[in-house]
Structure 1
Amino acid sequence: MNILPKLWTKNFISITIANFLTFTSFYYLLVTLPIYALQGLNGNESEVGLIVTIFLIAGIITRPFAGKWIERIGKYPVFLTAFLIVCGSSFFYFITQSITTLLIIRFFHGIGFGMATTATGAIVADLIPESRKGEGMGYYGLTLNLGMVLGPFLGLTIMHHGGTNLLFFINALLALIALIVGFFVQIPKKTVTQEVKELESNKGIKSLFEGSAIPISLISAFFALAYSGIISFVSVYAKEIGLVEAASYFFVVYAIVLFISRPFTGKWFDLYGANKIIYPAILLFAVGTYLLSVSTSLPLFLLSAALIGLGNGTIFPSLQTIAIQIAPADKRALATATFLSIFDFGFGIGSFLFGLATVKVGYSSLYFYSTFLVLAGIGVYYILHGKFHCTVKQRKVQ
């Protein structure tokens, strides 16, 4: 009888906890800082969008360099440095007295976030046994989804009932725990093959991106434009329509639907291919965005969250799966980095543009117009990927 190698080691548990805390903090601040900037710092909507954009741009710029630093000095030094930057940045939120100060802190926090997500992804790939790679990466990826639930719910609850100081204290505590947990991670030494050495010796801009993943990554960035406006401003919008308490539950409903649907949508992706999953998901995303734009009651508001969760929550992992499938076997890690960087770029730009646009038309109108942006994604997907069909065997990658 074959005995499977152990997955839940001390190192694997530590790295997944660190990743969970990183994304919990990310979403925690993502939905609360817009409110803080508008009410506490007297900022405007365009400045709120820039708070999200500058964080993600810093992370995007840092990721390729983090990969090079990992090659030169190793994964653990980059990993530990990243969490030191994240932890240090988190304590500086206490001294913010202007939008400018907040933007500077967000930039350095974004650098740490970009380094941390790059390093943890590289480390966890070494920790998971080859025979359990899919299972292990599935559990690791689940920490992002858990952070997406807990972060907004915790952040909005604390902000409404505890105030700004407690908000920043909890965020600093999350970062400190992640740093402490990081000290317990031990990385196994691996033999570097000649093939890997040749890949690592590549220079130039082409060595930072996987070309085959760029078209599908551009599709993800397109949908990120619409999604960024939802996740960055839905808490402010909820207050505007008199549903302040419901804002935190928006993300809970979103995540519950995502968790329930993920096993089914993954199997359908395997059985029927990407096109038959993604086109309906786009329509659900569009309907959810439209319902959000006309929400005047709690049931309608939460229904929009469910449909957006089912739609966008299916689109993102499906596109990421395609990016990995179409890449050469030895460049799947690079394809993943390419996909996430381009997605983050679309998200960051979307947050900034959405913030500018809300000054002119308001949240409700902009969510209404975003419905047509999402629908236009059908054409974008068809042109860049859908019309070519998937010829490779489909498999679920979470």
Structure 2
Amino acid sequence: MVIIAVIAQKQLHTTLGQAGLASGIYIIGTLLARLFIGKKLEVIGRKAVLRFGALFYLITTIAYLYIPVIPMLYLVRLLNGFAYGSISTATNAIVTAYIPKSRYGEGINYYGLSTSLAAAIGPFIGMLLLNYTNFKFIVFFSIALVLLTTIACFVFPVKNILLTEETKQAINKWTFDSFIEKKVIFIAFLAFLMGLSYSSVLAFLSSYVKIIHLVEISSLFFVVYALIITATRPLSGKIFDSLGEKFVMYPSYIFLTLGLILLSFTTSGWELLVSGGLIGLGYGTFMSNGQAVSLKQITSSHRIGVALSTYFIGLDLGLGVGPFILGELRSFFSFQQVYLIAAILPIVCLVLYKVSLHKNTAKQQPLT
């Protein structure tokens, strides 16, 4: 995610907007997978989706070795994203079988820690390897990781849930409800805005640090992000379960805004690293706890896949279209101004969340 925009500009001589699309189209592929696989997951079977998705992910990762022109890069990124979306949709549903409903916040946060750490360590390794090796080496390194993942997916024991014929028929219908869980639409929309905001970091940090002359220390940005998530994730899950979702959701919006504002004014290494910590507290906290909020809305086990895919469709859509939208804004604004624009979005989320929470509380109060 963080190096592909640089590669597109350097090797394929694209514009920043085209490079942003090359970064974000991966997430569009992930979104399409969540939409389709989320609907069909329990019919196809969790085990089959996990294993064949991993094989497809391996094949499409190998395809990065052949990207002579930008349309080919777009295609490879789209298919690679679809493969990742298939696997993650399966694993998101599989993990819920191990978590008691009363501890969804804590359990999802522990599980989310693995994906959040990967999302932090991956960019760190990517930026480090980009400085000291070349793109081909990075692709081979990725192939090795995906190969290990594929082997693990075939070894890991997975149980499919049993469906009645009536449930199968309901899933196979091509209706809005079969693709989207209505109860999760609101939190999915907030996830879209948060993903859109955070995409400014994923897609353009490597270009931004060159302008502010902080390339050497920039690789530590995601290390700090990862350390903060590791330290706070288990606690935020316990707070979610014991005190309620608002005690983790409100801080997530505020921290992401503060992190992006600081990033826009960064002139020194310590400021860059502090912004990474604040962004980790913001986006990292929201990502897992938003997933837990989604699960709280669901009562039927066969709807878990659809509910989680609905949530991640919002998140992925924001991450996917964000690099292109913000890349085009870069034509009119400086990087600093783009980050300030991105910082507004979590505040919008905070206001919408507060309004929604107030309405739900009013509905639950008994009439006198």
Q: Say yes or no: TM over 0.5.
A: yes
Question: How far apart in 1 are the matches of 2:261 and 2:160?
Answer: 51
Alpha-carbon distance between aligned partners in 2 of 1:73 and 1:371, rounded to the nearest angstrom: 41
- Structure 2: distance between partners of 1:173 and 1:76: 22
**Deviation (angstroms), 1:390:** 9.7
State the match for 1:220 in structure 2: 191
The residue type paired with residue 328 of structure 2 is L
Matched, 1:352 2:324: yes
Aligned AA for 2:138?
L
State the percentage of identical aligned residues. 29
2:171 paired residue number = 200
Deviation, 1:136, is 6.3
Q: How far, CA to CA, are the matches of 2:39 and 2:101 in structure 1?
A: 28
Matched, 1:164 2:135: yes
Alpha-carbon distance in 1 for matches of 2:95, 2:274: 36
**Inter-partner Cα distance in structure 1 for 2:124 and 2:298:** 37
Change in Cα spacing, 1:386 to 1:284, as seen in structure 2 (3 Å) is farther
Q: Which residue of 2 aligns with 1:381?
A: 353
The CA deviation at 1:106 is: 0.6
Aligned runs of 1:86-235 on 2, under 5 Å?
Answer: 86-125=57-96, 128=98, 138-188=109-159, 190-193=161-164, 196-197=167-168, 199-235=170-206
Q: CA deviation at 1:233?
A: 1.2
How far is 1:42 from its partner? 1.6
Does residue 1:238 correspond to 2:212, yes or no?
no
Corresponding position of 1:364: 336
Counterpart residue number, 2:283: 312
Q: Provide the rounded CA distance (Å) in 2 between the counterparts of 1:189 and 1:328.
A: 18
Residue in structure 1 matched with residue 307 of structure 2 by the alignment: 335
Q: 1:293 touches 1:364 (CA, 8 Å); kept in 2?
A: yes
User: Is residue 274–residue 390 contact of structure 1 (8 Å, CA) maintained in 2?
Assistant: no
Task: Measure how far apart 1:184 and its partner are.
Answer: 1.8
- Cα pair 2:108 2:291 within 8 Å, conserved: no
Deviation at 1:88, TM superposition (A): 1.2
Q: Verify the 8 A CA contact 2:257 2:344 in the aligned structure 1.
A: yes
Contact 1:49 1:351 (8 Å CA) reproduced: yes
Q: 1:89 to 1:50 in 2, by over 3 A?
A: same
- Aligned equivalents of 2:63, 2:248: Cα separation in 1: 44
TM-superposed CA distance for 1:198, in Å, is 6.1
Alpha carbon RMSD of aligned pairs, Å? 2.7
Rounded Cα–Cα distance in structure 1 between residues aligned with 2:110 and 2:127: 26
Equivalent residue number for residue 270 of structure 1:
241
For the 8 Å contact 2:42–2:160, the answer to whether it is kept is: no
Q: In the superposition, relative to structure 1, how do residues 391 and 281 fare at CA in structure 2: closer, same or farther (>3 Å)? A: farther
Alpha-carbon offset, residue 348 of structure 1:
1.2
- TM-score, normalized by length of structure 1? 0.82
Are the equivalent residues in 1 in contact too, given 2:21–2:324 (CA < 8 A)? yes
Q: Is the 8 A contact 2:35 2:313 kept in 1?
A: no
One-letter identity of the residue aligned with 1:315? F
183-192 vs 202-211, which moves further: 183-192
Using the TM superposition, give the Cα deviation of residue 286 of structure 1 relative to its aligned residue in structure 2, in angstroms.
Answer: 1.3
TM-score normalised by L of structure 2: 0.88
- Structure 2 segments unaligned to the other structure (5+ residues): none
> What's 1:47 paired with?
18
Shift of 1:192: 3.5
Distance 2:234 2:244 in 1: 15
More off after superposition, 177-186 vs 94-103: 177-186
Q: Size of the alignment, in residue pairs?
A: 362
Does residue 292 of structure 1 match 2:274? Answer: no
After superposition, give the CA deviation of every residue in 1:31-80 in whole Å (9 maximum; x if it has no partner). 11111112222222101221133211122122232245444443333323
